[in-house]
Chain A
Amino acid sequence: MDISRRGFLKLSAGSLGAGLVGGLGFDLTQAHARVRELKIAKAKVTKSICPYCSVSCGILAYSLSDGAMNVKDRIIHIEGNPDDPINRGTLCPKGATLRDFVNAPDRLTKPLYRPAGSSEWKEISWDEAIEKFARWVKDTRDRTFVHKDRAGRIVNRCDSIIWAVGSPLGNEEGWLMVKIGIALGLSARETQATI
């Protein structure tokens, strides 16, 4: 704690008067009562929405790092956003434990591949994973594409790839997936909403 010049003079004068204080041998300034600074005071606040039910509670996510490029931000706290007109700062038991969702120790961190008949996963690179994904989709689509149906009508579709879009996806990445599915001519596109 800083001592202002004025305070220092007062302290010095007092010391002189009492004759003892200045000779205690330690710095009194450390003994001042001090409110510990909240951890979230230094955190970055991000506005988001709870990913669970569709009430869409506004949340504030607090993340911390020193900003250096080799230090990853980490979520240290999540609370309801009082300025969201729907939840007005409240959260349910699921929303209140959202920090554990993001920081869950069993989050997947690497692409995994299970070959036919195997009982083990094997870690693979993203390049290999994307290559396989594209290869599988292309080969199946090319093999099974129906240009015309039995009646000779143009139908341009592929019935043999299921394309299932989950409902925690945001509109944009979900739409991107739908857009690609439609371009591929996939008829078996579905989403959580139905079930």
Chain B
Amino acid sequence: MTNNWVDISNSDLVFVMGGNPAENHPCGFKWAIKAREKRGAKIICIDPRFNRTAAVADIFAQIRPGSDIALLGGLINYVLQNEKYQKEYVKIHTTAPFIVREDFGFKDGLFTGYDPKTKSYDKTTWDYEFDPATGYPKMDPTLKHPRCVLNILKKHYSRYTPEVVSKITGIPKEKFLQIAEGVAKCGAPNKNMTILYALGWTHHSYGTQLIRTACILQLLLGNIGVAGGGINALRGHSNVQGMTDLAGQNKNLPTYIKPPKPEEQTLQQHLKNRTPRKLHPTSMNYWANYPKFFISFLKCMWGEHARPENDFAYDYLYKPEGGYNSWDKFIDDMYKGKIEGMVTVALNFVNNTPNAKKTVRALKNLKWMVVMDPFMIETAQFWKAEGVNPSDIKTEVLVLPTATFLEKEGSMTNSARWIKWKYKAIDPPGEAKDEFWIFGRFFMKLKELYEKEGGAFPEPILHLTWPYQNPYYPTAEEILTEINGYYTRDVDGHKKGERVKLFTALRDDGSTACGGWLYSGVYPPEGNLAKRTDLHDPLGLGTYPNYAWNWPANRRVLYNRASADAKGRPWDPERPLLRWDPEKGRWVGDTPDTAATAPPEKEIGAFIMLPEGRGRLFAAKSYATFKDGPLPEHYEPYESPVENVLHPKVPHNPVAKVYKSDIDLLGTPDKFPYVATTYRLTEHYHFWTKHIYGTSHLAPVMFIEIPEELAKEKGIQNGDMVRVSTARASIKAIALVTKRIKPLQVAGKTVYTVGIPIHWGFEGLVKGAIANFITPNVWDPNSRTPEFKGFLANIEKVRA
């Protein structure tokens, strides 16, 4: 989230799409209702199902799964054609005036530079035109140049007319225009729209671009950085934000620094590649500090063994081959027998992954597996899955019983980047242990083995900083100290071991260590700020600056500099998130997302992390772009019932990750005529709550939601057992015949959608089919997130 939960109540329009917060984030969604009470805000809900968010919305539109970019592109087109964008904001806070290269283009579904052989793009043309005299991109502040970003956008989205939008999404034109009108009103400086989304947007083969479409719309409307605005990912799990920040994914090192590439053989090469160059003379370009963050991380890992002479132990870091070794890649490697072992903690590998039949077969190829969980989960018992003979499975499996949240202390990071502390209430049952204990013991044992026996490149293990009073049982605050960062020697009046106050104290000379620079400041010398409980709200906007701690720098709304105009005055004086105070000579309000004492005349860009200093409407290669284009484009899901109206010859994202082994099958609408989409219920959390008495009673039975028109056609009654089959597999469940999903008219064809909740499996108090046995193995090329929303299925009644 750029903003925060309570801030939703400052909104004029709550735009919910690709998420269902009334059911999946109920206690956060109350702030949308509050916005209605407090400000008369409207709620728009766009979803494939008339869900409980829709039930309280002012406008609901039923959309065909997978057609979201078409709708958002249509909104961008409407806003641009009718000049409803916030002109001043767009001029000073976005890249609209930047001029794009002459050879950049887009035709028939492809951007310039596509190579059909490698199914990838040469991105050279996706860039700005540079002024050789200054070295910066050329700009046209009048926004008249035909190749300025604003006009490139206008041209690109001019194809997304209300008629085309309706044809692709199934939303009637009148309904679309009603939505567009409401949205366009929020281009006024004192009208703010918030966008709330969740996995309904990420689970596509173009999910990253989908979210970018929303960002572009919000930038045009001047809604980024303002109270009641922003683009707000409603994340699903309690600490999914924290584990993303702290680099659960191998593509990052903690808090978005990067593991080196094989071609970066020296520290200098890596730092040179990763430290961006300014693309505008007044941009702050905060990533210029990359070397400080990176070297402080190396110091945190290897302490005194990370010295300037050895490039701060740079060689101890892994250099992954071919980029991101993500779920799709290592499941495929495992399927091909290239992986020996797996350690998985608080995560249900089998139930989580698409085309789970492939996952189960892949797990058979492991020599060993270690599963840690409070419950016996399907993954640990994959050798008991249907159709599997245990004696054929040679995998050795360990299950280690773990503590739940109340049985250990520590912090979690919520969707709004608030790091909140939780205390330990009780001990875990029986011999169950928390992960501090388990990983403390594991590491000490591993180190002992390497000390005794030697082994492959033991240095990074033997030299790993392990600064815990009881090395067998690290504590949460000892680890938070490492994450926050500390001085490694006496320097400038700071003592060795003293915790740094904020990431601004970090250095690239080895005098500081820090395990996650964005979290630096959570545990300064004065104490653990995640524990704070002060309810003081000085702006009256629900920022609560002294409640818990918000990364980065306790900033409650990201890009808040953009909430004020060129002179530093809030666009909306009634919601003064940040303003320049000439008397004090500083910005006042939220923690400023700019240099605190730099007056507005200095024109420091509001988007300090970007080398342009401005919100990016066009993802130019000079800094970073995407695998599938500098602008979002509508593509059909890999399994779609209709052709792509915009470019029938390039129907799908041409660079999506698609696997084609004997088991990675895709279906066609002749055999699988219905669109299927997965979703979650308010009573359940993934695959844990089926182990729990209360929630299992509330929602005991796996079901398939079927439109009543389709049910009638198929002779299916409410409560009948049905089989849903896809090219991959089939599952059985009870039919829930519904009025909540209507047939849609899409490009002259009637399209039915069926809904599949995901929460069951063969373990727990209540049992049911694992939905992911039927989902396709197709992935977004950027995020490597699977396409769970919008695939093809057939459905039939099972005769008893």
Contact = CB atoms under 8 A, between A and B. Distances in A.
Interface of A: 44, 46-58, 61, 63, 72-75, 80, 83, 85-87, 90-97, 99-102, 104, 106-119, 121, 126, 129-138, 140-145, 147, 149, 151, 153-180, 182-195
Nearest to B389: A119
B420 A134 contact: no
A170 B319 contact: no
A156 B692 CA distance: 43
B449 A83 contact: no
B541 to A, nearest CB: 12
Top 3 A-B residue pairs of the complex, sorted by shortest distance between their CB atoms: A109-B430, A191-B248, A97-B694
B169 interface: no
Contacts of B301: 179, 182-183
B24 A178 contact: no
Nearest to A91: B27
Interface string B504-546: 0000000000011001000000000000010101000010100
A82 to B, nearest CB: 11
B439 A177 contact: yes
B239 A104 contact: no
Given A97-B689, A102-B407, A188-B333, 17 more contacts: A53-B685, A54-B235, A56-B418, A86-B28, A93-B682, A111-B431, A138-B453, A138-B455, A140-B341, A156-B319, A157-B319, A170-B405, A171-B413, A173-B436, A173-B439, A180-B443, A191-B249
A189 to B, nearest CB: 4
Contacts of B339: 159-162, 188
Nearest to A55: B28
Contacts of B533: 83
Contacts of B457: 145, 147, 156, 185
B244 A193 contact: yes
A170 B426 contact: no
A138 B449 contact: yes
Contacts of B51: none
A75 B244 contact: no
Contact of B341 (A161, A166, A193): A161
B391 A169 contact: no
Interface string B1-43: 0000110000000000000000011111010000000000000
Contacts of A151: 262
A191 B425 contact: no
Chain A facing B: main interface SS: mixed
Nearest to B330: A188
Contacts of B424: 46
A113 to B, nearest CB: 6
A191 B235 CA distance: 13
Interface stretch (B95-103, B171-179, B321-329): B321-329
B786 A157 contact: no
Given A108-B376, A134-B446, A155-B319, A171 B242 contact: yes
A53 to B, nearest CB: 5
A58 B431 CA distance: 28
A86 B393 contact: no
Interface string B423-439: 11111111111111011
Nearest to B694: A97
B414 A55 contact: yes
A92 B392 CA distance: 44
Nearest to B443: A180
Interface string B222-254: 000000000000111111111110111110011
Contacts of B440: 176
A116 B445 contact: no
B775 to A, nearest CB: 10
Contacts of A169: 239, 243, 345-346, 435
Nearest to A147: B457
B691 A96 contact: no
B250 A74 contact: no
Contacts of B396: 113-116, 132, 136
Interface in B310-362: 315-321, 325-327, 330, 333-334, 338-347, 349, 352-354
A98 to B, nearest CB: 8
Contacts of B349: 164
Nearest to B455: A142
A175 B404 contact: no
B514 to A, nearest CB: 12
Contacts, number: 474
A44 B425 CA distance: 8
B786 A195 contact: yes
Given A141-B455, A190-B248, A100 B346 contact: no
A101 B326 CA distance: 31
Given A174-B248, A175-B483, A54 B318 contact: no
B304 to A, nearest CB: 15
Given A47-B423, A73-B425, A92-B682, A187 B315 contact: no
Nearest to B233: A54
A186 to B, nearest CB: 7
A111 B401 CA distance: 6
Contact of B243 (A134, A141, A155, A165): A165
Given A74-B426, A96-B694, A161-B339, A170 B375 contact: no
Interface in B585-630: none
Interface in B679-710: 682-685, 688-689, 691-695, 698
B368 interface: yes
B412 interface: yes
B59 interface: no
Nearest to A78: B406
30 contacts: A46-B424, A46-B425, A49-B405, A52-B237, A74-B426, A85-B537, A94-B684, A95-B27, A96-B694, A101-B404, A102-B406, A104-B693, A108-B375, A108-B399, A114-B383, A136-B396, A143-B340, A147-B456, A153-B262, A154-B315, A156-B318, A162-B344, A164-B344, A166-B345, A172-B483, A173-B439, A175-B515, A180-B439, A190-B330, A195-B354
B367 interface: yes
Contact of A75 (B315, B327, B406): B406
A100 B239 contact: no
Nearest to B542: A85
A109 B464 CA distance: 31
B282 interface: no
A183 B259 CA distance: 12
Contact of B27 (A87, A110, A117): A87
Contact of B692 (A100, A164, A193): A100
Given A108-B432, A168-B239, A169-B243, A132 B5 contact: no
A189 B383 CA distance: 23
Most buried by A among B446, B682, B698: B446
B400 interface: yes
A111 B428 CA distance: 13
A94 B239 contact: no
A119 B27 contact: no
Contact of A177 (B235, B238, B345): B345
A192 B347 contact: yes
Contacts of B685: 52-53, 94
A164 B333 CA distance: 15
Interface stretch (B70-78, B131-139, B154-162, B474-482): B474-482
A4 B244 CA distance: 64
Contacts of B427: 72-73
Contacts of B236: 53-54, 167
B385 interface: no
Contacts of B730: none
Contacts of A174: 239, 242-243, 246, 248
A158 B354 CA distance: 25
B439 A189 contact: no
Contacts of A155: 262, 318-321
A54 B234 contact: yes
B547 A189 contact: no
Contacts of B246: 171, 174-175, 178
Contacts of B450: 138
B400 A111 contact: yes
